[in-house]
Chains A and B, each alone.
Chain A
């Protein structure tokens, strides 16, 4: 476990962040950065490990947000920290809702999967607008604003997101080292061959999808409680999907830390630009340009490219004649 110490340091630094930085706008940026790190790690489970690029994860994000809000409205889950306690149930509910969709979408090839998921995005938004009895349509849904002290208002949400990030990373790490992870990587490499040699590809894909959308839904729940007001167009926002995909591709899909790296680069930049200029149509262009750039220049992402370069250099050093001289 050579990596345990830096990882523990990283998490400790994130945990200490709210005490080092007190400016509320920086806390907001940090909160959203953690949220995107959670979302990107979740997307990576399906899009990275299994190679099924989902374009509909924002639908599950919105579903989680609405689940939290509806729970508030109909069952009164209390105030303060109590609403965080229902998050695991929100996650389970979202995962359960994702299973039938995934079952249908993943029976065929990955382009059909992309088609179904992008359609789902639109359907979820239509439902949020039109199931007025449940979602209040375009009026949106309000939740009571939590009574946290204004100076440290972001803290509970920040720690909730941090807990989700640690959970998502532990889960991704565990999946990578498990039979499920092996099965997913086999699916990505060659699904037909994997099925041929007896890998349970269907179960593996469904499992990864359920875990992925469950985490996404929980992040949506925290987000909804933080804003305490949700509208269909923001809860089910294609930009959320795009951000997730872009962060994973930038950092390196299929790696454990790539999505986190991608989120830590893109989310603060995006939040800062929004804070400074507030022009949301500009990020569409920015995202699109960055996306194409990453695909063309760094199709494998930063981490795998760097790892490859480092490995090659070491290999050259091992074989090269100068090493013999340098070695003591």
Chain B
């Protein structure tokens, strides 16, 4: 029983981090209608940048986020503007999917050249410290990561719900043609949306690097988890993504604690297949479609 509750706590904390990564993915899907296969690679890139800043300049990994996020924002916006925007309209969706895949490979290639393919982690002094509450261990990094995720998600929700830009994004998500007719500049919204999605990867990357060990190849692992979450949440629903991320975090932690860590990775794929079998639109796909 103790073990189960401990696993649920761990799962919720991990799920919070997944929620952050996957929300960027959902945002990009909502705005561009493109499954961004580069999201995992962007997270790993952010983890490396954060690690370098920490090692070379001693900047606390959490404080690297405001430095790395703008860089990734620019990178993401540039990817949309230079690579996705000019694609042929006729089968843009298939081509853009593959272009994001190529971007992921490019990032992996650059990271392998610069950092070689050894595994590394970001190890600040508090990385392995934890609090004990009523007999349950709560890792400091994980808790801080979860709080950071909540803060970023909250900011994202405010940005989308309360600002002019957010309204333009939501209009584009619901009906791109109508939004364009009403004066929303589709390309600019798309570039900003992709940039914003990439910037959330920056926050996620710093955290990911402290909790897991990673190498340039890790993005395949990560992207399959993120995509499972996004499908479970119903492609394009932000609330659904958060719930799905928490659920997947708990499921995989439970499988890891009670069965074997090996199969906890596998639980993502099983859940993905089960969702596609039983409810292909995802948990919230039908009800909230287009609502982001």
Contacts and interface: CB of A to CB of B under 8 A. Distances in A.
Interface of A: 51, 53, 55, 104-105, 107-108, 110-112, 114-116, 118-123, 125-127, 130, 238, 242, 245, 249, 281-282, 284-285, 287-289, 291-292, 295-296, 299
A299 B97 CA distance: 13
Contact of A295 (B35, B98, B231, B276): B98
A104 B274 CA distance: 9
A295 B105 CA distance: 15
B231 A115 contact: yes
B103 A288 contact: yes
B105 A287 contact: yes
B102 interface: yes
B276 A116 contact: yes
Interface stretch (B85-93, B131-139, B181-189): B85-93
Contacts of B105: 242, 284-285, 287-288, 291
- Secondary structure dominating the interface of B: helix
Given A245-B98, A288-B109, A296-B83, 10 more contacts: A53-B94, A104-B273, A114-B35, A115-B272, A119-B269, A123-B266, A127-B266, A287-B102, A292-B102, A295-B102
B235 interface: yes
A119 B94 contact: no
A110 B95 CA distance: 12
B101 interface: yes
Contacts of A118: 37, 101, 220, 223-224, 227
Contacts of B34: 111
Given A281-B112, A281-B113, A295-B99, A104 B276 contact: yes
B224 A123 contact: yes
A292 B99 contact: yes
Nearest to B111: A281
Given A121-B220, A123-B269, A299-B87, A285 B110 contact: yes
A281 B107 CA distance: 11
Interface of B: 34-35, 37, 83, 86-88, 91, 93-95, 97-99, 101-103, 105-106, 108-110, 112-113, 117, 220-221, 223-224, 227-228, 230-231, 235, 262, 265-266, 268-269, 272-273, 276-277, 280
A163 to B, nearest CB: 31
A53 B98 contact: yes
Contact of B86 (A105, A115, A245, A296): A296
Contacts of B220: 118, 121-122, 125, 238
Given A104-B276, A115-B227, A291 B109 contact: no
14 contacts: A105-B276, A107-B280, A111-B93, A112-B276, A115-B272, A118-B101, A118-B220, A119-B228, A123-B224, A126-B265, A238-B220, A284-B108, A288-B105, A295-B98
Contact of B227 (A107, A119, A285): A119
A284 B221 contact: no
Contact of B83 (A110, A121, A292): A292
Nearest to A283: B109
Contact of B262 (A122, A130, A245): A130
A285 B109 contact: yes
B276 A284 contact: no
B227 A284 contact: no
A218 to B, nearest CB: 25
Contacts of A292: 83, 99, 102-103, 106
Contacts of A122: 220-221, 224, 269
Contacts of B265: 126
Given A104-B277, A118-B37, A284-B105, A53 B97 contact: yes
Contacts of B106: 284-285, 288-289, 292
A191 to B, nearest CB: 13
Nearest to A122: B224
Contacts of B221: 122
A281 B99 CA distance: 19
Given A55-B101, A292-B99, A108 B280 contact: yes
The 8 closest A-B pairs by CB, nearest first: A284-B109, A288-B106, A285-B109, A291-B102, A281-B112, A119-B224, A288-B105, A122-B224
B280 A281 contact: no
Contacts of A105: 276
A81 B262 CA distance: 38
A99 to B, nearest CB: 14
A170 to B, nearest CB: 27
A39 B156 CA distance: 43
